[in-house]
Amino acid sequence: MRKIYLAAVFMGLLWAMPARGQESPYFVTYDHHLEEPGNLEVATSATIGVPRGAQHAFFAPYIELEYGILGRWTTELYLEGQSTANDSSLFTGWRLENRVRPFEREHWINPVLYVEFEDINEADKIQKEIVGHAPDLTSPNSVLRGNKNHELESKLILSSNTHDWNIAENLIVEKNFSADEGIEFGYAFGLSRPLASIASANECRWCRENFSAGVEFYGGMGSTRQFGLNDTAQYAAPVIAWRVSDNGQLRFSPSFGLTRESAPVLFRAGYVYEIQGFGRKLGQWFGAKP
């Protein structure tokens, strides 16, 4: 309850801040903003898990390559690994996701359709989303790495921009074709805004308009075998992003576990760099007409 109270206080402080539209600072929640056509976004992020009881601390880095195919279609590739204290380090797999906006124009609520294929093993710990029941954070990597998962995940993303706030809701459905786990469910909810509505007259990287902040909540909702919040991981996470250059952004978030099945804290940090016009440059490199 104390963690929920702190999250509520954080949201109240944000409500009093001025705002301006900017990229969201979320790590887990998706909004309706897609990559510009021809642009490539390269990101490196990591999840650090603080242990509880029989759990072990871990460091789980991953690389994201996001490309804007069309104005309403973005695709993304993830490469993932992890290192567990007093255990081992390993590559845990890859994911390929696609996000499509059905409608071109901005609406009061903007839906996005999300489909992702995952080829990972159960030692994967980046926790890009939480579905089903709580993940195994106690078994050694030698046991977990042998369990291969081929999963298909879909999300209904609903996102709105109102008075410079972004409000995003994600409903998650996932099916593991490598194990008989039924269909698993999860959710994510995010609320964020920039910290200033008026840009400074002089160039300034430390000015408030270069920062955005918010909070997100996410967790599992069981499966078709046992639906509900029993034996699930739930998190509340303040998030903040800092635009350090015209093309670069730093993000940070501490996620606080709200149930005994959650990790006490997940620290998330990442850096994103956008290469504008990458598709056009790539065509020129290979001799195509500009």
In a domain, 203, yes or no: yes
**Into how many domains does the chain fold?**
1
In a domain, 290, yes or no: no
**Separation CA 265–CA 51 (nearest Å):** 8
pTM score above 0.75: yes
Q: How is residue 134 written in tokens?
A: 């709580």
In a domain, 100, yes or no: yes
In a domain, 265, yes or no: yes
For tokens 């300034």, the residue is 204
Say if CB 41 and CB 63 are below 8 A apart. Answer: no
Tell me which residue range forms the domain holding 225. Answer: 2-285
- CATH number at 256 reads 2.40.160.40
In a domain, 180, yes or no: yes
Q: For every one of its 290 residues, what pLDDT tens digit does the chain have, with 9 covering 90 and above? A: 444 444 443 444 333 333 333 468 999 999 999 999 999 999 999 999 998 887 889 999 999 999 999 999 999 999 999 999 999 999 999 999 999 999 988 899 999 999 999 999 999 999 999 999 988 888 999 999 999 999 999 999 999 999 889 999 999 999 999 878 899 999 999 999 999 877 776 778 888 889 999 999 999 999 999 999 999 999 999 999 999 999 999 999 999 999 999 999 999 999 999 999 888 877 777 765 54
Cα Rg of the chain (Å, integer)? 19
In a domain, 77, yes or no: yes
In a domain, 280, yes or no: yes
